[in-house]
Amino acid sequence: MFDPRLIKEVAETKQAATIVQQLKSGKNVIITANPIIDDNDTSHGVVANVRDITELNALKEQINSLNQHYIQEINKYKIANKYIFSSPKSRDLIDLVIRVAQVDSTVLITGETGVGKDVIAQILHENSPRSDKPFVRINCGAIPETLLESELFGYEPGSFTGARKGGKMGLFEVANHGILFLDEIRELPIVLQVKLLRVLQDGKITRIGGTVPKQLDVRVIAATNRSLSDMVLKGKFREDLYYRLNVVPITVPPLRERVEEIPEFVNFFLSKYNKKYGMNKSIDARVISEMQRYKWPGNIRELENVIERAIVTSKGDVITDIRLRESDELDLDAIDFSTIQTEKGNKLKATLEVYEKRLLQEALKKYGSTRKTAQVLGVDQSTIVKKAARYNIPLRNK
């Protein structure tokens, strides 16, 4: 049933061997041959194990076909070079965004700083029926409160000192028939929250100094990095506006919950900044492993900044070390020293050694490598290796 040369090869070499073969029947089999050898290294034959993998291969092809179909379906939409979605959480997010993009519901995007809420808003716009209409973004926290109302709603001529003669069109009017993205909506003053609520309810705006409301067709997308429901409980955000905005909530997961995407982001930003600065730098795989253990409080924005800084400051063509922000330092308060038992009468040196051992154990557990542990604790790598040997602490990766 299978190639007899495999038996001959194993008998002669006394080494196990495996081949994959297609039989005349069309079935695919995997054959593993093992020599039978006694204690005197004398060969007594060969045992061959034949396994039918036809169904396994068919299932593999089916899975590959489904994955390819999924990728093709996603690629139909305009998300190329805007979002990496290889993790399950990201795929679920993109699926939701594409579905929501087809309707006109108000969307509230939440997520930590730097996760890419603005990117999600752009994907919503580019895959919506309004994709050929304006996409207008305003950061509610970047404009002084005194100017924010005129920026959003515009004003009529002579409304206030310094106003333009012909008046000014507000961003709601600029975004007519398109999408208005209100970033950092939590920063919107209470007075303007009332006016925004009215716009969402009636679809009409009134310019400052004006008396005649204008009917508009604007889809509103809002984003925040804080819990609006908590702000409602504290009286810092209107409850009725919160419910008007939160028709379709979309939460963007932080980078630490999709660490499998970090290598892809690293490669993306490496390519981007190599091209920008005319360089051809790469990054050591061990550094990427360290980056996957880091918590990334600044998320993708922090990762992008770290890569750009590494490219422009590293000496060689291969980046072998990346300095992460100080929040990556060891949290001494998180280490439980209370379980340490010290013998009565121990002198200072012996007591300090007990605590030093615990500190070293926790640091090595968190950072994995002696190099990173040494960097965080501010000592030479050789010091970490010596002390680990002294305290019988096993090292996974030197």
Domain ranges of the chain: 1-76, 79-251, 256-328, 332-390
What stretches in the chain show pLDDT beneath 50? Answer: 326-327
CATH of domain 79-251: 3.40.50.300
Q: What is the pLDDT of residues 378-388, one digit of tens each?
A: 788 888 888 88
- Distance separating alpha carbons of residues 305 and 323, to the nearest angstrom: 11
Residue 248 identity: V
Nearest one of 167, 170, 177 to 216, comparing CA atoms: 177
Nearest one of 259, 344, 346 to 295, comparing CA atoms: 259
What pLDDT does 329 receive?
56
What pLDDT does 321 receive?
84
What pLDDT does 382 receive?
81
Query: Which phi and psi angles does 179 have, rounded to 5°?
Result: -125, 135
Nearest one of 334, 381, 335, 382 to 356, comparing CA atoms: 335
| Token pair in block for residue 307 | 């890569």
What pLDDT does 68 receive?
62
Nearest one of 67, 79, 75, 65 to 125, comparing CA atoms: 79
What pLDDT does 333 receive?
54
Tell whether domain 256-328 is in CATH 1.10.8.60.
Answer: yes
Question: In 197-223, which positions are buried (b, 16+ CB within 10 angstroms) versus exposed (e)?
Answer: bebbeeeebbbbebeeebebebbbbbb
What pLDDT does 276 receive?
94
Residue 296 identity: W
What pLDDT does 81 receive?
59
Structural element, H or E, at residue 366? helix 348-367
Superfamily of structural domain 1-76: PAS domain (3.30.450.20)
- Distance separating alpha carbons of residues 150 and 40, to the nearest angstrom: 94
Nearest one of 213, 76, 199, 223 to 156, comparing CA atoms: 213
| Token pair in block for residue 323 | 């300095």
| Token pair in block for residue 34 | 């093992």
What DSSP letter does each residue of 111-130 carry, written as one string?
--TTS-HHHHHHHHHHTSTT
CATH of domain 332-390: 1.10.10
What pLDDT does 323 receive?
77
Secondary structure of residue 300 in the 3-state scheme: helix
